[in-house]
């Protein structure tokens, strides 16, 4: 009886601890700090992304908060020089 219990519990532990990354690649997540000084992480580097002229924001999945977020670039004065900052808000899909 003990062997059956140990076998079943070992099987459950081994099956539930499998990685979701089937290929075995390491995934790179790029950090982005928004206007509220919160850290977000995305699979692509948003700071080097060229935003389309016809769209004011991009929607990306945040791997830190596990939700879809809208990212809007804003060019404004920061510490006496003009810089790109990013306003991040929840996408309507999540609400």
**Cα dihedral 86/88/91/95 (nearest 10):** -170
Q: Name the range with the highest mean pLDDT among 15-19, 50-54, 90-94.
A: 90-94
Q: Where are the domains of the chain?
A: 27-94
Q: How many Å is the maximal CA-CA distance in the chain? A: 74
**Is 63 buried (19+), middle (13-18) or exposed (0-12) by CB count in 10 A?**
middle
- Residue 72 near residue 86, CB atoms below 8 Å: yes
Please provide residue 14's backbone torsions phi and psi, each rounded to the nearest 5 degrees. Answer: -70, -35
Helix (H) or strand (E) holding 27: none
The pTM is what?
0.67
Average pLDDT over residues 22-31: 81
Residue pLDDT, tens place only, 45-90: 988 887 766 567 889 999 999 999 999 998 889 899 998 899 999 9
pLDDT of residue 3: 73
Provide the H-helix boundaries in 2-94: 2-16
Average pLDDT over residues 9-23: 58
């Amino acid at each position: 009886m003990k062997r059956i219990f140990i076998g079943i519990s070992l099987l459950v532990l081994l099956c539930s601890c499998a990685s979701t990354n089937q290929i075995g690649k390491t995934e790179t997540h790029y950090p982005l700090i928004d206007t509220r000084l919160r850290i977000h992480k995305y699979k692509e580097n948003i700071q080097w992304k060229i935003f389309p002229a016809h769209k004011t924001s991009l929607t990306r999945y945040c791997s830190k908060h596990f939700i879809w977020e809208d990212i809007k670039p804003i060019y404004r004065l920061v510490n006496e020089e003009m810089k790109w900052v990013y306003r991040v808000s929840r996408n309507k899909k999540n609400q």
